[in-house]
């Protein structure tokens, strides 16, 4: 056991799936760890961290590389000599046709006029008009091997198809953490493994949960908070 009297927990769904915590079905393997840290003789805090996230869009048996999954929401950044702008890009495929929209830091939403996807490359264009002049904001980027990010170039093209401005463009996938459901927790303390079940459900507008050890005793969580990929749980023991 570590010197700080902690135990490491690995979680997975009771049906055996390990990627149910995330909305993206392209997650091939996700390592999730729970650390029980003793605060005093009565109170324990569980820090749930998705510490290792292994995603791969390539087949490990030498088959052709799969197409990049651009569908979903992306935290994006457009660089220029003057500043850096942050956006949320969202792409959707329906009936083999792609669509998308962007939202800037002020909440302004622009619908993309054209979205074209070719395996791991995406081209997204938004029509613009200013002072009677028309143009296009174009993003051309390629997905990386993780399946979790893409990068490339943004540019402003005028009505004569001349590039007026450009810069680097990067995007990272936005994950949604899903807790509701039944989970199996396996604690490794030294060489010993201890199994427990954890359940989360919705009560009114809140998520509540409980922890049940091998002795069958159920303990309810007193605190459940989530931020990005981390969940902090508290319980009275």
CATH number, domain of 136, equals 2.40.128.120
188 and 166 in a common domain = no
Quick check: 147 pLDDT over 70? Answer: yes
| pTM across the whole model | 0.54
Number of structural domains the chain divides into: 2
191 and 162 in a common domain = no
79 and 155 in a common domain = yes
Across residues 124-150, what is the average pLDDT?
Answer: 93
C-alpha to C-alpha distance for 150 and 80, rounded to whole angstroms: 18
**Is pLDDT larger for residue 218 or for residue 112?**
112
150 and 77 in a common domain = yes
Among 147, 173, 199, the domain-final residue is: 173
116 and 167 in a common domain = yes
182 and 221 in a common domain = yes
> What is the per-residue pLDDT for 199?
85
Q: Is residue 104 part of a domain?
A: yes
Q: Is residue 1 part of a domain?
A: no
**Is pLDDT larger for residue 84 or for residue 185?**
84
pLDDT band with cut points at 50, 70 and 90 for residue 236: low
- Least-confidence region, from 61-70, 106-115, 224-233: 61-70
**pLDDT digit string (tens) for 192-223?**
887 888 888 887 767 888 888 888 888 888 88
Among 173, 201, 216, the domain-final residue is: 173
The residues pairing with 187 across neighbouring beta strands, listed in sequence order, are 9, 194
Positive or negative CA dihedral for 104, 108, 114, 116? Answer: positive
Q: Is residue 67 part of a domain?
A: no
Q: Is residue 44 part of a domain?
A: yes
pLDDT band with cut points at 50, 70 and 90 for residue 16: low
Q: At CA 70, angle to CA 67 and CA 74, rounded to 5?
A: 150
80 and 145 in a common domain = yes
% the chain with pLDDT above 70: 69
Q: State the residue range of the domain holding 106.
A: 72-173
Q: Is residue 95 part of a domain?
A: yes
113 and 141 in a common domain = yes
C-alpha to C-alpha distance for 188 and 48, rounded to whole angstroms: 15
226 and 161 in a common domain = no
Among 173, 208, 226, the domain-final residue is: 173
> What is the per-residue pLDDT for 20?
38
Quick check: 170 pLDDT over 80? Answer: yes
Closest CA to 32 of 52, 60, 5, 2: 52
């Amino acid at each position: 056991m570590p010197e700080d009297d902690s135990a490491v927990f690995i979680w997975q769904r009771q049906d055996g799936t390990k990627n149910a915590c995330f909305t993206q079905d392209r997650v091939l393997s996700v390592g999730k760890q729970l650390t029980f840290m003793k605060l005093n003789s009565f109170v324990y805090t569980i820090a749930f961290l998705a510490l290792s996230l292994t995603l791969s869009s390539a087949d490990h048996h030498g088959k052709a590389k799969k197409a990049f999954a651009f569908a979903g929401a992306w935290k994006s950044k457009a660089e220029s000599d003057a500043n850096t702008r942050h956006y949320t890009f969202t792409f959707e495929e329906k009936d083999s046709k792609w669509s998308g929209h962007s939202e800037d830091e002020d909440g302004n939403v622009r619908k993309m006029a054209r979205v074209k996807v070719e395996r791991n490359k995406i081209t997204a264009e938004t029509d613009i008009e200013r002072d009677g002049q028309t143009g296009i904001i174009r993003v051309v980027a390629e997905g990386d091997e993780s399946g979790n990010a893409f990068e490339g170039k943004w540019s402003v093209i005028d009505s004569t198809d001349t590039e007026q401005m450009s810069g680097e463009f990067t995007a990272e996938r936005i994950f949604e953490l899903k807790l509701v459901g039944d989970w199996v927790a396996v604690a490794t303390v030294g060489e010993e493994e201890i199994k427990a079940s954890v359940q989360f459900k919705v009560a009114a507008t809140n998520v509540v949960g409980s922890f049940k050890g091998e002795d069958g005793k159920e303990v309810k969580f007193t605190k459940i908070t989530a931020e990005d990929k981390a969940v902090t749980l508290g319980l009275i023991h």
